[in-house]
Amino acid sequence: MDKIFFKQMYFYGYHGAYPEENRLGQRFYVDLELGLDLRPSALTDDLNKTVNYAEVYGAVRKEVEETQVQLVETLAERIADRLLQDFPIEQVLVRVTKPDPPIPGHYQAVGVEIFRSRA
């Protein structure tokens, strides 16, 4: 299956299990892999036969910046559901990364990755 991918889309949201995360907010990175057949658009050079990247970005931005959930697992699931509903894709891999969670210790980032499909 062909893929369209987005790497490290950057958003600011208010998701988290701790009150300060909901009050202060933090950065989130979202990576996507959208599985679909790209041949029709490639052969015709027709945007209407593929996925509009700007519309995908807008849908993800809306989920991250205009909603509030406690878990990045929930956020990733909501992003996957929305993309499968709104776009002609067969499958989606969503990775949500929190580079600055309020967790003591030394690490680069924490996050989740989920894979969902229509079938």
pLDDT tens by residue, 5-56: 999 999 999 999 999 999 999 999 999 999 999 999 999 999 999 999 999 9
- Active-site annotation holder among 3, 49, 62, 98: 98
End-to-end CA distance of the chain: 14
In this structure, CATH architecture of domain 2-117: 2-Layer Sandwich (3.30)
Three-class DSSP category at 31: strand
Per-residue burial over 65-94, b if 16 or more Cβ lie within 10 Å, else e, is eeeebeebeebbbbbbebbbeebebebbbb
Establish whether 98 is a catalytic residue: yes
Per the prediction, the chain carries an average pLDDT of 96
pLDDT at 103 over 90: no
Q: In the chain, where are the structural domains located?
A: 2-117
User: What pLDDT, on the 0 to 100 scale, is given for residue 75?
Assistant: 98
Helix axes 53-65, 72-86, angle to 10 degrees: 150
